Structure 1
């Protein structure tokens, strides 16, 4: 075992402390107030409320609306709504190759981050003194921040993969990658969901994973697209990892969220293999790297139409498969239809979420582009 000096342990405890997070929130204009002060009002407050409509939660004041909405938007870049819109949009409107790289790294990084959380079991910041603006994941453990991991991995995987595919100024891409990942990391402090140690460790772990895996990206591409066992590995390995996810003494959303990510990764992996076998990958034609697509008056509405139609198809797939899988599993395990708590049981949660998001990944990678072709989009 690695032994740490007392000074190092003291520094780690300091970086993991809740007061640092609360201090950052106050510097950004987010203040915790008790109910009596809140009811009297405040002339300095621009926005007041309770986090996620939790009436029993401490109330807060927002004194800097610009930073407030900037960080809320940045935090949203780590939620499902971002992944189910942004990553597929890269596939539909830019380059499926880049989407494949992003999905692969996103899946690996998020699985490792989620497992580390539930093995290390370090708590999130305390409230008070911290204002917590999200409650869905409050029961989860804190270190590392998977928002920080995902933002770092996605930003820099795109930066490292894009030069061979698309012509752009690398310095501009580097600035955007640093800005995006930094905003997401800071948003986790602002929303009160992570300590500085959680965020720093999350970003560092992602950089280590990028460094370790980067030399093997081409090899993985070749295996994923060409090997006859690729679809078998792409399906069974994520399914195995979902079922063997570490058990906790209490329910949190980590196992379900991890299964969602692994399912989406499995569906996309199989879909990309199928496209390669069919000889229709929808990748840019001609000499690479190609110029960035021009944003013309005609291209913008076309891209927007593809985006809207694609999202409708994916959300429709998600809803249909989720409903059918839950009904089938409830019937199989003889669970009453009105027992919503049964969704937390592993034998129901894992197959339902895995089937749902594997289907979403398959539809995204195989079907949506072919619908675009049929409709002339």
Structure 2
């Protein structure tokens, strides 16, 4: 009888209990979609699309600003160690990042940084109503920030501090963007320094008192930034950096079906190459690390160890950044796409 009761209790404990009821599906899907705008799936689509189909000038600024402010935000979480909102009273709709600390909100940081960096960089290149662009940037960053409250992952203070960090960084560094961009494109030492600094910052990330995804995510971000710096230097060296003709700012080009079809082809080809790069770089780096440390990298716990996780993620995403900014544009040039 006791064994029967215990088995029933085990079965009941394994049944997933629904902890909330959705009354307004419009708000639910709106904020779940907005929350996705601060996740990897958005970065690996929007940033490459900007690079390949809009303007590499804007994309370079987006990636560099995004990398720096995200490192500041991620490291701040593990230094401050402020917990996320307790549940109850809130209901947490995400589980992947639940083990991370809360202050500041890196979703708010990323959304604010990307929105307003895009606005300021595009303002120098293209003619468009600034007020309209400002409203769009404000709406996007606000929507993503509010989604963190709706999903129960952050407090109002977390979100406000995240947005302020991004805005303060943009305000302080905006006068230096052109000078830094020139260094990245023309100085052969600068990209090397970025790669070394990115790896050291990842490896010496603030010590975790329990495992969370912050160190891995930070390594991914710094790897993309390092690969981007190397890639844009290479593409500039071979003379394929996009330079618009005419007096800046330029009028926006008219949209047409042939142009949209061409952009779609470029995007599909580019993303396919990035997926292949990720698979090859990840597989080879894990095999090399497994052989070096004589461990099985098939084990999830082994891949979470510092000496395994940081090198394989940094190598993988540095390769992705490098391919996205140099190999893919070079292939577009060869196939006249």
Q: Give the TM-score of the pair, scaled to structure 2.
A: 0.93
Q: Tell me: CA distance 1:368–1:57, structure 2 relative to 1, closer, same or farther (3 Å).
A: farther
1:286 aligns with 2:242: no
Q: Does 1:87 align with 2:47?
A: yes
* Pairs within 5 Å for 1:231-246: 231-246=191-206
Q: Deviations over 1:33-68 (max 9, x none)?
A: xxxxxxxxxxxxxxxxxxxxx955652111111111
**Could you say which residue in structure 2 is the equivalent of 1:112?**
72
What secondary structure sits across from 2:296 in the alignment?
A: coil
Contact in 2 for aligned 1:230/1:273 (Cα 8 Å): no
* Correspondence list, 1:1-377, <5 A: 59-377=19-337
CA distance in 1, matches of 2:186, 2:259: 33
Q: Distance in 2 between matches of 1:57 and 1:238?
A: 42
> Alpha-carbon deviation of 1:376?
3.0
Q: How many residues align?
A: 324
> Which shifted more, 294-303 or 241-250?
294-303
CA distance in structure 2 between the aligned counterparts of 1:231 and 1:199, rounded to whole angstroms: 33
Unaligned runs of 5+ in 1: 1-53
User: Match of 2:91, SS?
Assistant: coil
With over 3 angstroms needed to count, the CA separation of the structure-2 counterparts of 1:55 and 1:128, relative to structure 1, is: farther
Cα deviation for residue 285 of structure 1 reads 3.2
1:223-259 deviation digits (Å, cap 9, x = unpaired): 1112231121121111111111011121110000000
Computed over aligned residues only, the root mean square deviation of the Cα atoms, in angstroms, reads 1.4
Q: TM-score, normalised by structure 1?
A: 0.83
Take 1:258 and 1:55, find their aligned partners in 2: how far apart are those partners? 34
The gaps in structure 2 that reach 5 residues or longer are: 1-13
Between 1:228-237 and 1:279-288, the stretch displaced more is: 279-288
Change over 3 Å in CA distance of 1:338–1:226 after alignment to 2:
closer
Instruction: Report the Cα distance in structure 1 between the residues aligned to 2:15 and 2:149, rounded to whole angstroms.
Output: 22
Q: CA separation in 2, counterparts of 1:70 and 1:292? A: 29
Cα displacement (A) at 1:193: 0.8
CA 283–57 in structure 1, closer or farther in 2 if over 3 Å, else same: farther
CA distance in 2, matches of 1:75, 1:338: 30
